[in-house]
Structure formats: structure tokens, C-alpha cells
Structure 1
Amino acid sequence: MRCDTLWHNANLITLEDPSGGLGIIRDGVIAAHEGRIVHVGSAADAPSLDAINRIDCAGRWISPGLIDCHTHLVYAGNRAGEFEQRLQGVSYAEIARAGGGIVSTVKATRGADDEALTKASLPRLDAMLAEGITTIEIKSGYGLSLADERKQLRVARQLATLRKVEVVPTFLGAHAVPPGHEAQAYINEVCAAMIPAIAAEGLAEAVDIFCENIAFSPAQAQQVFEAARRHGLAIKIHAEQLSNQHGAQLAAEHGALSADHIEFLDSAGVAAMQRAGTVAVLLPGAYYFTRETQLPPIQQLRDARVPIALATDCNPGTSPLTSPLLTMNMGATLFRLTVAECIAGFTREAARALGRGERLGTLSIGKDCDLAIWDIEAPADLVYRIGFNPLHTRVWRGQPA
């Protein structure tokens, strides 16, 4: 078999395990041709492989490239002052109602042009790539007008031309009510004008909404979902972060790819997600940063076999986090996820949450050759270590990146 590159003398974390485990292969090999995996398995069982490049991994571990399936990476401004307020006891909801929170970032983002937004966003992206990210979802939601939402999505797509990474753009126009607007009138605008324009221009793949008592109601979420479906866009939701609005259940009933946050998710929501195949995206960075105490229903999700993904929720107000490795540790320490669940949450299940499970997330023949090569002794090191980056090489589409 001819191939462009062969990685050998490696231990593999394939994530190809019917029971949901890591699918470990010791002394394994991976072969890639034209950016796709053409062979993966143990060295002892490998066919004859005629490779242009042969890379001895010296016993290192190879996993799929990491996938961050929930970020708000493109924004301007700084909200360190709000962090200080929270340290003094002011809640996130109180800050939002006083004109802070999302709205303050909206003001800064509206005032930045494409070049300034790109310059502000690249360091955050680079920090993630340095820890093995090869695919990243980027939401809009800090424009809250068609022109400014377009700008965020343009910049998100521009980042993919500046770095070797796949960017998945999501339209989050229904993130907050813009200053001077009424919620229902704004949702009407999102559905009648913004979603059709975003879809027609191909700027986003999915539509998201913040369904919460400080944002938009379930009825407004349903209106957004119906508009998204009419225009061929996938559905995601911020749900049950601060209270149980039954948003995750509603989103699942509309075939949502994922429901994210879900600390207050109830059993009916879990059942709806299970029926729909909707992925639960847990965001321990936001849970930690806002000092929440309501844990997501982890065991119920496990029992129902709802796929569990992890993500940084990189954003300026409630999760200024650009480290997938630290997020894994938080998933384990705060939510008591297992090592296998944490690693799968940034690979196999994150791919599902972005509708890319057929192409990304596992080391499998036919999938894109996006790899992270690690200087570790065991997979648990990826979750156990804090403030230490063991990435040796990031590979994107079969090439070192």
C-alpha cells in the first residue's frame, strides 16, 4: 500500500471502542495518503506500506487531533472588571441586568473592524493550537446586528486561512437582547432577516440561542429553530445553565446537534436528548469561573448513553479559557468524568457535537488525518497534569502543523 506518511513506533488512542473506551493500540502504526488515514493498527498486523515519509514516534502516544466544539473566540474588549465584581459577590445575572456581561463585549466588538478582531483573536487561537486543537467551533453573538454578526463570522472564517485548522462557524445572533431593543422584536428580526442572510451567504453552519431567564424564552427558541430549519442550518442551544427552562428538551425535539451547559437539565431533557442523539456539551470552565454549584446530571447522561463532549467555552466574561488540557482536568475534578470520558469529550464526542463524526474524532481508516502526538507515559497524563503541555507535534490533514 502506498502512502504519503507513516507514523510508527507509537502508542495509539484510537477512540474506536464499542464500549466507549479509548481503543488503545500499543506499538501501532498510522498511514496517511492525501490527507486521510489509509491504515491504522498494530505494527505486527500492518500490511506492506510504501511510505514517502516514515516518522519514528519513539514510543510517543498519538490521539486524534483535539476538537473544541464550543467557543466564542472572536471578540474585542476585556471584562476583567466583571471578574473583580464577582469576587466581591455580584452574580453573573446581576452584572448582565446592569448592562455588563455580553452587552459590554458587544459594544467593544462593534467598535472593532475585521483587522482588529483578527488581531485580537489570533493569540487565543494560537494558544489552543499549541495544545493540539485541529478543529474549533467559533460562535458569533457579540454583534447583535446583521452587519456586526456578519463581521464576526467573516473573521472566524478568515482565521482558517491564517492557520492550519478547521473552523466551524455558528450564528449566535440570539445571544442577548441588544441595548434599546425588546426581546420579541429582536427575535423576529433574527428569524426574518438575519438567519436568511447568514444562510444565503454561507457564513454559518448552525444556529445557536441562549435560552435562559436572562436571555430568551423557550417559545423564542422554538421560533429560532424553525427559522434555522427553513434555511438549512443545524441547531445548537445554550440551555439550563442558570435554571431549568426545558430548552435542551425543546432543542432535542428539533433535532439539535448539541445542548450545552445543561447544569439544571432534568430527566425529561436527558430522555429527549437520548432519543434525538443530541450531544451533551459540558463546559467546566464556565462552571468554575462563575463559581456555580449545580452539577450537570452526569450519571443520568451516562445511564441514558447520551454522548458527553467537553469544550472550553472560550469567552471574555464567564470562561476566559484557551486550554483544552486544563478543561479536561476540570471535567475530571469538578464533574468527576473519567479519563476516557475527558479525552473522548475533546475528540469523538466533540466531532459528533459539530456534525463531523463521520470525518473526525477517531483514528479510523477514511477519516481526515488530524493527529496530536504526545510526550506522555499514559493517556491519563493528558487529564492529570495542570499547567503542563506535553504536545510534541500537531498534524493537520496529514501534514505537521
Structure 2
Amino acid sequence: MTRADLLLTDCRLATMAGPEPYGAIHDGAILIADGRIAWVGPRADLPEHRTAETHRLDGRWVTPGLIDCHTHLVFGGDRSGEFEQRLEGATYEEIARAGGGIVSSVRATREASEDRLFASAMRRLEGLKATGVTTVEIKSGYGLDRDTELKMLRVARRIGREGGVRVRTSYLGLHAVPPEHRQDRAAYVDLAIDDILPAAHAEGLVDAVDAYCEPIAFSEAEVARLFDKARALGLPVKLHADQLSDGGGAALAARYGALSADHIEHSTEAGIRAMAEAGVVAVLLPGAFLMLRETKLPPIDLLRSHRVAMAVATDCNPGTSPVASMTAAITLACVQFRLTPEEALRGATVNAAKGLGLSDRIGTLEPGKAADLVVWDIERPAELAYWLGAPLLWRRYVGGLEA
């Protein structure tokens, strides 16, 4: 007899596993024990069990909890005023010269206390949770000095303890050159690699290491130094790659066996092929594409033909993607990038888990996986991509507990 803490029954399951579209089971049930899925399948096959509690879901759809695998959720201030300026005709360069852009986010983040950063991030997190997110990746990168980078990462860890979601952290020290190092970028690169990263790792604040590889940001050589340090510390890497130009980011990510290469609008077929051979996930960020009014689409057909796993994320940040809705990201991935609804949902579950190195724990409804799942008031899974802004969520479970 199977012992379980909770039975979910009278539901339709998009398991995202198995040969059927969405891994669908149309009259299903799930047994949950000790925070994990103990059994999942057709209700008619439900094994003999002893269950403490039963939730009948009245035919609603259940999916794995959504995974936002690329966010900059923790930052100070906002840049809505700059957004307004751009719509009135100011260029990004003009705003940056006047002290705006990432410099303004760095200044506000440095000035904010940990409690203030936590409170503002939690407000944004509510938008993600309301759209089905149970796991979120959070990057540093708006501190760009030792104290503030560590402060951001400590806040991210606190969100994981108190926010009702699982959190994975990424150290993004090579995000931009801070104002005080504008005349000596080499000194900042040394600081980011040789001082801040080891300090963050020593405090247990880092799950992965990220960088922004672009001509306007950091070079392949600089990123390679960072990744060598990450490798020496036993940390996986990921990369903001080829967003604005073909800077060789996809190939660089592949060379280091990165978890993911993110953005990749300008990646070439050679880079995509290298990603495929190395098992690197392509993280698509349609919110940034929308807000920047980009026109160069990611190479979706190449990703499909080379069977590169495609994840979808919000890129929630104050400058280029003020998006705090995972279902909106799914919709935009379909409308802008022509993903199918099933591809987009797979991108927010199975492939997002792979992009965080968590495929063995989350991303599908299978025995042994964490009981992170979402119940939706929908008639078809495609509705998660179809409705933009509609309240579709009915209930969230994290580790088998309502959250």
C-alpha cells in the first residue's frame, strides 16, 4: 500500500513527460508524499493507498510548476521615468550620459538596504507567483562592488527561504563596468573575478556564474577568465550571449559546457551547432525583445533543426524587460518567436529546469520529482499561451504544500 500525505484527483494532467502532446492524462491523479510525487497516472490505475488528505480538482488542468530561469528580480529603484523619456524621443545613449541607464540602477541598489531590496523584489515576485511560478533564478549584477553584490545575493537567498518559491542564484559580476572603474576596466574585471566571486562563494551565495558577453559589455577573453575561476570553484556557468551582435557567445558557452546561453538573437548556425553538441539550453527572452523593439529574431528554426532545448523566461529587470508575468512570457514567445504553445510550456518547465541544472528535481510531473505543481482554470493547455493577462491560476503547490 502506498502511503501519501496528499491525493490530487479528478484532474487533467499536462505531465510534460511521455509521448502524448503535453504528456497529457485526461482523467488523472497524483499522490504526494514527503514533498515529492509518489505516483502519477490515470485515476483508474490509482494504486491502493493510505492518504491523509484529498483535494478534488473538478477536472482542472495540472502542470508542473513554472520555472523562470532568467531574472534580475533584486534591484533598487525603477526606470519608468527613462521608459517615458524614450517614448518621448530620448535615446538610450542620451539617458545614459545624463546618469541614467544601468548606472541609475546601480546607484539605487547600492543605496537600498537589504530589507528594502527584499520588499521590492517580493512585490515583483507576487506577479510571477500569480502566473504559476514555483522556481525562480535571481541574478546579482546591479551592485558591481563587493558589498552590494553580496547584499543582492543574500536577499535572493532570503527570498528562497521566505517567498514561497525555490530560488537559484547567479553571480553576474561581469554585467557592466561601474562608474568608478570607467577609466580602469581591467581593475574591475580583476575585482569581480578574484575578489567578489570567491567571497560570494565562501558565503554559500552562488549556484551559478553568469556574464554579459557583448562589445558594449565584456569580451570573450574577460568572460573566459571568469568562467575559469567558476570552474576552479566547482560552479556551473551560463551566459548572456549574442543579444545585440554575433559576439561568439553561443560558441563560448558551448566551450565551457554552460547550462544555458540566453538571448542569442544573433547566434550563427556554427554557434547553435556547438550548443547542441554541448547540451547547452537556449533561453529565449521575449520580454526584452518586445521592450527594446528588436527586429532580429532568435534562430528558432536552427534551434529546432539542431534539437537545442529552448527555455522561456521573463528576464524581469528594471531597464529592458520590466515583465513580472510568466504566462505573458509564454504568450510573447509564441506570438513573437512562433513557438507552439506546447514548445513554450515545455520551455517554462522541462527545458527551464535543464537550464538551471535541476532536471532531476523539477520540470515534469513524474514520480520522485518535487511536488511543485500548478492547478489552472483552463480547458486546454494552449490557453496558457492564448490569454494575455487573464487570471488563470487556481492553486500552487511547492513541495506538496499550498503556497
Q: TM-score range by the shorter chain?
A: over 0.9
Q: Judging changes above 3 Å, is the alpha-carbon distance between structure 1 residues 308 and 112 closer, same or farther for their aligned structure 2 residues?
A: same
CA distance in 1, matches of 2:151, 2:231: 23
Question: SS of 1:268's equivalent?
Answer: helix
SS at match of 2:237: strand
- Match of 1:72? 72
Cα distance in 2 for residues equivalent to 1:117 and 1:175:
19
Which runs of structure 2 are paired with 1:311-322 in the superposition (5 Å)?
311-322=313-324
Evaluate the alpha carbon distance shift between residue 306 and residue 42 of structure 1 in structure 2; reply closer, same or farther with a 3 A threshold.
same
1:204 counterpart residue number: 206
Q: Structure 2: how far apart are the matches of 1:101 and 1:294?
A: 22
Q: What residue ranges of structure 1 are gaps of 5+ in the alignment?
A: none
1:341 to 340, 343, 348: 343
Q: Is 1:51–2:51 an aligned residue pair?
A: yes
Quote the offset at 1:38 in angstroms: 0.6
Alignment pair present for 1:242 and 2:256: no
Cα–Cα, structure 1 residues 218 and 60, in superposed 2: closer, same or farther, change >3 Å?
Answer: same
Give 3-state SS (helix, strand or coil) of 2:206's partner.
coil
For residues 197 and 115 of structure 1, the distance between their equivalents in structure 2, rounded to whole angstroms, comes to 21
Q: Residues 103 and 17 (structure 1 numbering): CA distance in 2 closer, same or farther, change over 3 Å?
A: farther
Query: 1 CA distance for matches of 2:400 and 2:137?
Result: 21
Aligned CA distance change for structure 1 residues 91 and 350 (closer, same or farther; 3 Å):
farther
Corresponding residue number in structure 2 for 1:150:
150
Residue in structure 1 matched with residue 123 of structure 2 by the alignment: 123
The structural deviation recorded for 1:85 is 3.0
Cα distance change of structure 1 residues 130 and 239 upon mapping to structure 2, 3 Å threshold: same
- Count of residues paired in the alignment: 400
Distance 1:381 1:143 in 2: 39
Shift of 1:261: 0.6
Q: Which residue of 2 aligns with 1:216?
A: 218
Give 1:266's aligned residue.
268
CA contact (8 A) 1:195 1:231 kept: no
Amino acid at match of 1:11: R
Equivalent residue for 1:377, pick from 376, 379, 383? 379
Q: Distance in 2 between matches of 1:18 and 1:228?
A: 38
The one-letter code sitting in structure 2 at the alignment partner of 1:12 is L
Q: Name the CA distance, whole Å, in 1 between partners of 2:338 and 2:93.
A: 27
**Residues 290-301 of structure 1: pairs in structure 2 closer than 5 A:** 290-301=292-303
Given residue 343 of structure 2, which amino acid in structure 1 is its aligned partner? E
- 1:29-178 equivalences under 5 Å are 29-92=29-92, 95-96=95-96, 99-178=99-178
1:358 is aligned, of 352, 357, 360, to 360
CA gap 1:71/1:93 in 2 versus in 1, 3 angstroms: farther
- Does 1:388 find its partner at 2:390? yes
Segments of structure 2 that go 5 or more residues without pairing to the other structure are: none
Q: CA deviation at 1:89?
A: 4.4
RMSD of aligned Cα (Å): 1.3
Q: Once the 2 structures are TM-superposed, how far is the Cα of residue 314 of structure 1 from its aligned partner?
A: 0.4
CA distance in 2, matches of 1:73, 1:93: 24
**Distance in structure 2 (CA, Å) of the matches to 1:383 and 1:33:** 31
Alpha-carbon distance in structure 1 between the residues aligned to 2:360 and 2:91:
41
Paired with 1:139 and 1:94, the residues of 2 have a C-alpha distance of: 27
Tell me which moved more, 32-41 or 152-161: 152-161
**Aligned to 1:234, what secondary structure does the other structure show?**
coil
When residues 248 and 89 of structure 1 are mapped into structure 2, their CA distance, relative to the original with a 3 A threshold, is farther
Amino acid at match of 2:195: A
Provide closer, same or farther for how the CA distance between residues 7 and 111 of structure 1 changes in structure 2, counting only shifts above 3 A.
same
Q: TM-score, normalised by structure 1?
A: 0.97
Q: Could you give the per-residue CA deviations for residues 303-345 of structure 1, whole angstroms, max 9, x where no partner exists?
A: 1110000000000000001000111110000000001011111
The alignment's TM-score, normalised by the length of structure 2, stands at 0.97
State the match for 2:305 in structure 1.
303
What are the superposed Cα offsets for residues 323-374 of structure 1, whole Å, 9 maximum, x if unpaired?
0011111000000000101111111111001000110000000000001000
